[in-house]
Chain A
């Protein structure tokens, strides 16, 4: 298929662009296969380059022959294009609609994008699974390639870490007892006390309480002698009960006597999607009273979801670090709420995950490799009216939770808020291939490493990296325990209020903060240099001897 077929009108002159907190621009609108471009001959104006895949929804309006297209983006921005001529406007609108909803992944921009920079370190090779997990392994764990052809679990990577005492045959049997074949695998190893966190899909106990000896063996093999463990089920008990009717279920105490099960209620799917839609609607409503704002914020339930996820992650971390117990986390499929909990718990427990590299590795390991279906979840954002069932802001919620912890520990993270916002943007629309596909198997089939550029290749260039580094960072080896009181969890303004306030004052304040810290560093090196000079003068003889 040619993109040209979809582009009914490739260019229109005299288009006026309105963007939040930026001057209006008049210029020429061009449509290409992947971009909507507005360029102007006016001086000092910024061109607009908008990826079609970033467009969530468009609205058309007409006043006489002047048409207006309201473009609502997945990054929550809303822009307006005034297009002279009704036909042009209709053509542009239908072209955008077609181009922003392409079915085939291989037509997406990342397959066409050619980097304008030299790839120094290829992000596709940065976090090979062997490297990721080998560093974690002790003599109690091993890497299994039981899934090398994705036959045992289609959503797992080829290599997974499992207890050494359990062989691949057992794993195959366990896989038949777990939702989606997602048998328990190692997610995190707590070096401090050797405790581990594992994740899985729900056990398929069904209504008649099916058991699986191999599953029990595998799980118990992760316990040290005399130790107990916790199973954190991310569903409320009644939801877990209901799952039995559909063949799912949870671990019965009788079968897993060494484990204590805790249920937490983290929502999924359309409930989260509706929550996002309501929240964004509330944030964009400019003409409301305080009472209306607060009740809409409450009704969106977004902050409740944030609190629930952070609390559950803290609970998992508490079990591991304070109780000295191992933890198994699962919900239903083990691809959504489970990953929110396991990845956030690692941020709390492991100082490595708070570094730039470590966080990237965490996203790679606990989200991409672990089979979070990015393509399904991020197909639509807050403005879409379509009733698709697979979209959900699961990853955005995770980023929000990380931001909450970052806000409470502003000196403990090597990266800053901008980096989290960047990941949000690129998960929904990107020139990079990182977030394409739903799991490792699909990515392999799409040949992403060969055909697209990795987001990490770009981010990790020193020029780009600088913007995402937190000037306040001071490595801190502690477990960081955030407050989960509602008063301590704020609305993430950097994402949700980003487009309805001028960020000028906040940006300038941030620059000043960077300046204060940079200045201090300069002074330190200056003083050190002076000391060295003086020290050389002191040992003046030495100075004379060297030519």
Chain B
């Protein structure tokens, strides 16, 4: 058996104390894999340890795997991969530009906001001086810009960062900007301003000259805190969660209490709650909403993207989900490089913000098994590659950085790769007709409907998984149905023709090949199923010691272990 681990996936390497069989090395990965192996000679172990440490800490982007990864595509194929997602086409799909919203070139040179994309959409009534003025009053220059347009009610979802209001500062341009957003929606007299932070955090920010909108200064806004915690709380929460579920011989009590004290599900619920608030304001009240947090690239991205996912069935398709990530996460400058620790950087910047978004999507897919065109495997695969640095999409912190590094010329796009194996990621229960009938999802927010995502956080621990995968089974059945349809079609065509042709047309493979994959012993359908893997109790003596890998080698980009 061979195990390959991408260096980029490794989040920590730890040398444990020497044992009789050798020197144990514990590797923890960002895709929640934990590898524990024993190197017979301490010296080798030390060498391995120090080389890993060196390799784990790339200092510049061009050291990342994406720059050496070559999937044997020509330039044209690569180019096509990058062209797959076109955000201006996406805004057109929403009905923008329109009489109230238009494209602006104000950020053409990334001069107004270097973490925003070049192409932005703003109310027609917001002139350039207003935009520029507003941007100066917003943290990191992230002024209010359109991210989703709900055509049916002409309600907009805009996003920005916190205002630099301190205790009393005002900015007329910013007030105008919000007024313009409000006026652009003829269906509602007010707009919601959602500050996704807990009120205390927002208050504390005022002392640093930042803060939140004073309702007295802005006409017709309804201000709302929604209380999602910051990146540091989320980082600690995931760490605690992984400690809890990683414990050996975990009891139900420790599991549930650990789940509670980690706060992970509480945070997930807070994000979903905020997205529901956003979706209801837009779809039910027809009001426009401006969403922000501190810098507007973490919680804001979570809430805007999840809210749009609730409102618009398109984002629940494979392609639409890619567009959504490309729009609300990549183009609006979620700092993937910092949050996912791509380069040797500040550990305090690392945080599982995007993982939480995927977790929220999974929670929804559990409540609405037919609403998503993709299965959890798609989410897990995206998560894998957000950390793998194998594709260019998630590298860097902003569009501007990506252009500087010429990622489109030097790396490949994940999306075309995922689409090429789309059939693996499809949800066989998906119903497009249902999406048309009930376009807006209204999930339950009762705590009991939020669950721990075993297949994500234990994706490498097969002993935890259901032993027979429903998803895999249904995909196989569907594939078999496709083959059978084809066969039936051919047989009907043959039957209609002359007999003499028959013998040549029906290839012998048709006579047995299709149908469900043959299962001789059932062994294949029952995975990871052995009593020894589960350790039910303390019977005398070990039932068989686990084979230790005895060969460890480091190659470019991967650690290779062979048993």
Contacts and interface: CB of A to CB of B under 8 A. Distances in A.
B466 interface: yes
Given A288-B447, A474-B519, A505-B368, A527 B487 contact: yes
Contact of A483 (B448, B468, B487, B534): B534
B495 A533 contact: yes
A282 B250 CA distance: 23
Interface stretch (B210-218, B312-320, B449-457): B449-457
A505 B537 contact: no
A422 B255 CA distance: 30
Contacts of A322: 531-532, 543
B491 A531 contact: yes
Q: Which of A490, A491, A520 has the most CB of B within 10 A?
A: A520
A307 B250 CA distance: 11
A290 B474 contact: no
Interface in A460-483: 472, 474, 476-483
B493 to A, nearest CB: 10
Interface in A523-540: 523-524, 526-527, 530-531, 533-534, 537-538, 540
A530 B265 CA distance: 54
Contacts of B494: 534
B260 A294 contact: yes
Given A411-B525, A476-B526, A489-B252, A283 B543 contact: no
A472 B473 contact: yes
Interface in B214-268: 245, 250-257, 259-260, 263, 265-266
Contacts of A508: 370, 431, 434
B499 A483 contact: no
A509 B370 contact: yes
Given A519-B481, A527-B484, A481 B531 contact: yes
A294 B484 contact: no
A459 B484 CA distance: 34
A385 interface: no
B422 interface: no
Contact of A516 (B434, B481, B488, B530): B481
A540 B466 contact: no
Interface stretch (A28-36, A42-50, A244-252, A313-321): A313-321
Given A289-B447, A534-B495, A485 B250 contact: yes
A476 B531 contact: no
A487 B255 contact: yes
Contacts, number: 213
B506 interface: yes
Contacts of B369: 505-506, 509
B492 interface: yes
Nearest to A307: B252
B511 interface: yes
Main secondary structure of the interface of A (DSSP, over half): helix
Interface string B279-312: 0000000000000000000000000000000000
Which residue, of A264, A314, A476, A481, has the highest number of chain B Cβ atoms within 10 A?
A: A481
A293 B467 contact: no
Contacts of A487: 245, 250, 255, 452, 454, 458, 464
Contacts of A489: 252
A213 B269 CA distance: 62
A303 interface: yes
A517 interface: yes
A517 B369 CA distance: 17
Contact of B529 (A301, A481, A538): A481
A526 B495 contact: no
Contacts of B255: 486-487
Contacts of A506: 369
B459 to A, nearest CB: 12
A282 B256 CA distance: 14
B77 interface: no
A208 interface: no
Interface in A359-393: none
Nearest to B476: A520
Contacts of A534: 491, 494-495, 502, 506
A486 B252 CA distance: 5
B468 A291 contact: no
B444 interface: yes
Interface in B454-500: 454, 458, 463-468, 470, 473-474, 477-478, 480-481, 484-485, 487-488, 491-492, 494-495, 499
Nearest to B441: A505
Chain B binding site: helix, strand, loop or mixed by DSSP? helix
Contacts of B428: 513, 516
A421 interface: no
Contact of B491 (A286, A519, A530): A530
Contacts of B523: 478
A523 B484 contact: yes
A107 interface: no
A526 B486 CA distance: 12
A258 interface: no
Interface in B117-163: none
A481 B522 contact: no
A75 B515 CA distance: 42
A417 to B, nearest CB: 12
B256 A294 contact: yes
Contact of B466 (A289, A409, A530): A409
Contacts of B547: none
B309 to A, nearest CB: 16
A489 B428 CA distance: 25
Nearest to A512: B429
Nearest to A477: B522
Interface in A273-315: 282-283, 286, 288-295, 297-298, 301, 303-304, 306-307, 311, 314-315
Contact of B269 (A290, A490, A505): A290
B446 interface: yes
A486 B256 contact: yes
Interface in B92-108: none
Given A294-B259, A314-B531, A530 B499 contact: no
A286 B526 contact: no
B447 A294 contact: yes
A523 B491 CA distance: 12
A283 B449 CA distance: 10
**Which of B252, B367, B429, B543 is packed against the most chain A CB atoms within 10 Å?**
B252
B266 A289 contact: yes
B556 interface: no
A106 interface: no
A8 interface: no
Contacts of A478: 522-523, 526, 529
Contacts of A509: 369-370, 429
Contacts of A24: none
A323 interface: yes
A297 B256 contact: yes
A232 to B, nearest CB: 9
A301 B255 CA distance: 12
Contacts of B429: 509, 512-513, 516
B200 interface: no
Contacts of B259: 294
Contacts of A409: 466-468, 526
B539 interface: yes
A147 interface: no
B478 A323 contact: no
Contacts of B529: 478, 480-481
Contacts of B256: 294-295, 297-298, 303, 486
A545 to B, nearest CB: 16
A533 B514 CA distance: 18
B260 A315 contact: no
Interface in A404-420: 407-412
Q: Which 3 A-B pairs have the closest CB atoms?
A: A293-B447, A486-B255, A509-B369
12 contacts: A318-B531, A480-B529, A485-B463, A488-B466, A489-B252, A497-B448, A505-B368, A516-B428, A516-B477, A526-B484, A530-B495, A534-B502
